Amino acid sequence: MSTSSTDPYDLILAGGTLIDGSNEPRRRADVGLRGDRVAATGDLAGQQARRRVDVTGMIVAPGFIDSHTHDDNYLLEHPDMTPKISQGVTTVVTGNCGISLAPLRHDSPPAPLDLLDAGGSYRFGRFNDYLDALRDHPPAVNAACMVGHSTLRAAVMPDLDRTATPAEIDTMQALAEEAMAAGAIGISTGTFYPPAARASTEEIIEVCRPLSSRQGIYATHMRDEGEHIVAALQETFRIGRELDVPVVISHHKVMGQPNFGRSEETLAIIEAAMARQDIALDAYPYVAGSTMLKKDRVLLAGRTIITWCKPRPELAGRDLDEVAAERGMAKYDLVEELQPAGAIYFMMDEPDVRRILAFPPTMIGSDGLPHDQRPHPRLWGTFPRVLGHYARDVGLFSLETAVWKMSGLTAARFGLPDRGLVQPGCFADLVVFDPDTVADVADFDNPTERAAGIHSVYVNGAPVWENQAFTGQLAGRVLPRSPR
């Protein structure tokens, strides 16, 4: 239904301070919505509106775009998406680390593909079938979806512990082309993980060839984020150059005590490469990461918390050191007995985390694992932690920059048109929050606590979060990519 500039606004958010996602200074402004779009910003005191909400003392900002999620299956199983909307997220980027829910039919997918699996979840033989399921049963948030290289391997290769044959590469490439034609915004890899660890650089380049003609994103959980991180960065840059596509370095970090401080080196390398090709990066605001429980001495060197364990579910939330001591075993040797399982690893240094977050081009991605029994608190707390702890309390950057890193910057890097900004004509994805009280409440002991200070959240003009609760509106959409 068309509207004109003389029609009443559907909603006016009145009296707030606007941070519009462009990294420009905040300003006092009302925000008027018509349908799914922002219609006007400024002084709308005399304007007619079907609904007017007083947000005096609050910040009105673009809804946050979570640049790195594993929400592929959660969007279908839990369409309310409470862990995300409760912290102001209105769009999630899925299919990261080489792991996507499609195209794959599999009753028992190999780790870490099982991080998405709620039992029988891998049922989409074509990527378009998965996107159709999201369109037919929309969630509360928007989704921009990538296809995973490890998923393609699992769909095609009977033995993952080797490089693909030319015929297998051709089949994976065809599946990737089908996914891109269906609406995938890019392809991700996770060569850190067993299903793709034996993939050669050449295999990745050839499987990802459809990105070039489709102008898609290449995102990667690199082969190494520790001792050999420089070689992993150079491999990543080479893949982007060979394909002539934008690159996203996922959850950039330097892990393991021997590598603490090396973010100065890696950020300098990334910045130099950015002058030659299209490169982006994201990070999460914690010193601990989380993934499959892996027999990896670097990961296991620090504190390790079990997040889920299929053979011993009662161990979720326990420290691996304590369990190993009870068993009279070294924790490295205990890992085999607990498979399959997940874990939180304290593997980073706070100065590196701050340096990477403060690096101007760094986007924010939660990397949360929503199916974990005891998840990392980043699933519920990433975005308010950046706003409250790092921007307000630590002063790592301004609130305007914090919002930009979680909205306008991310929309631009991923090519999500008319998202990430609060400007006339843009989609009305909005979050209203209290700048004095916004904070992450989830921690490692209580990882599913809702954030403080989030007043309301709107997706495509519809209120999805009000009065600290999901409103019942499922207003999300599958988003296309529009290259810059």
Reported as a single tens digit per residue, the pLDDT across 424-441 is 999 999 999 999 999 999
Instruction: Please indicate, yes or no, if residue 360 is contained in any of the structural domains.
Output: yes
Per DSSP, helices labelled H in 200-341 are 201-207, 210-214, 229-243, 263-274, 320-327, 331-338
DSSP-derived letter for residue 314 is G
Regarding whether 106 and 219 lie in a shared domain, the answer is yes
Helix (H) or strand (E) holding 382: helix 378-384
**Together in a domain, 26 and 169:** no
How far is residue 62's CA from residue 11's CA, in Å, rounded to a whole number?
16
pLDDT band (50, 70, 90) for residue 484: low
Domain count of the fold of the chain:
3
What's 339's domain CATH number?
Answer: 3.30.1490.130
All residues at 6 or more sequence positions from 327 whose CB lies less than 8 Å from its CB, including other chains: 334
Give 13's DSSP letter: E
Structural domain includes residue 478: no
> H-helix or E-strand containing 455?
strand 454-459
With contact defined as beta carbons under 8 Å apart, do 385 and 405 qualify? no
* Whether residues 331 and 468 fall in one domain: no
Q: Which helix (H) or strand (E) holds 30?
A: strand 30-34
Q: Verify that 103 and 245 share a domain, yes or no.
A: yes
Q: Tell me, what CATH number does 166's domain have?
A: 3.20.20.140
User: Does the residue 208 lie in any domain?
Assistant: yes
Please tell me whether residues 186 and 316 are part of one structural domain: no
Q: Among the three residues 344, 364, 385, which one is the final residue of a domain in this structure?
A: 344
Same domain, 142 and 90: yes
d(CA 76, CA 95): 14
Give residue 68's identity as a one-letter amino acid code: H
Decide if 445 is inside a domain. Answer: no
196 plus 304 within the same structural domain: no
CATH code for the domain of 49: 2.30.40.10
Predicted confidence (pLDDT) per residue in 307-355, tens digit? 999 999 999 999 999 999 999 999 999 999 999 999 999 999 999 999 9
Q: Nearest-CA neighbor of 55 among 448, 430, 416, 380?
A: 430
Domain assignment present for 484: no
Based on the fold, state whether residues 257 and 313 are members of the same structural domain.
no
The answer to whether residues 202 and 73 belong to one domain is: yes
Give the tens place of pLDDT for each residue, 207-244.
999 999 999 999 999 999 999 999 999 999 999 999 99
Q: Count Cβ atoms within 10 A of the Cβ of residue 302 and give its class: 0-12 exposed, 13-18 middle, 19 or more buried.
A: middle
C-alpha 107/C-alpha 121 separation (Å) is 8
| Bridge pairing between strands 11-14 and 469-470 | unpaired
Mean pLDDT of the chain: 97
Residue 281 CA to residue 286 CA, distance in Å, equals 16
Q: How many residues are given for the chain? A: 484
Using N-to-C axis directions, what is the helix angle for 320-327 and 331-338, rounded to 10°? Answer: 90
- For tokens 């999805």, the residue is 464
pLDDT digits (tens, 9 = 90+) for 58-81: 999 999 999 999 999 999 999 999
Specify the pLDDT at position 197.
Answer: 98
Classify 285 as helix, strand or coil: coil
What's at 107, amino acid-wise? D
Residue among 294, 281, 217, 276 nearest 251 (CA): 281
Examine residue 1 and state whether it is found in any structural domain, yes or no. no
Question: How far is Cα 416 from Cα 131, in angstroms, rounded to an integer?
Answer: 17
Q: Are residues 227 and 261 in the same domain?
A: yes
Q: Residue 143: give the domain boundaries.
A: 63-287+348-414
- pLDDT, residue 5, reads 63
C-beta neighbour count of 58 within 10 angstroms: 22
**More confidently predicted of 7 and 5:** 7
CB-count burial class (<10 Å; 0-12, 13-18, 19+) for 212: middle
Q: Are 259 and 324 in the same domain?
A: no
Average pLDDT value for residue range 376-404 = 98
Q: If pLDDT is split at 50, 70 and 90, which confidence band does 2 have?
A: very low
Residue 272 counted as domain residue: yes
* pLDDT of 247 above 50: yes
Q: What is the pLDDT of residues 326-336, one digit of tens each?
A: 999 999 999 99
Residues 272 and 182 in one domain: yes
Measured CA to CA, the distance from residue 128 to residue 102 in angstroms comes to 9
pLDDT for 1 beyond 80: no
In a domain, 137, yes or no: yes
Does residue 3 carry a pLDDT above 90? no
